[in-house]
Amino acid sequence: MFTVLAEIAATAYQNKRQLNMILFEAAAETLKTIANPRHLGGELGFRTLF
- Other Cβ atoms closer than 10 A to 8: 11
> What is the model's pLDDT at position 44?
73
> What is the model's pLDDT at position 50?
61
**pLDDT tens digits for range 3-39:** 888 998 899 899 989 988 898 899 888 888 877 767 6
**How far, CA to CA in Å, does 36 sit from each of 13, 19, 29, 44, 47?**
33, 26, 11, 8, 18
Which residue type is seen at 15? N
Task: Give per-residue burial for 11-40: e unless 16+ CB within 10 Å, then b.
Answer: ebeeeeeebeeeeeeeeeeeeeeebeeeee
Residue 47 lies in a domain: no
Contact indicator for 35, 42 with CB cutoff of 8 Å: yes
Domain count, the chain: 1
Residue 1 lies in a domain: no
Residue 32 lies in a domain: yes
Residue 25 lies in a domain: yes
Residue 46 lies in a domain: no
Residue 50 lies in a domain: no
Q: Which domain holds residue 14?
A: 6-40
Residue 17 lies in a domain: yes
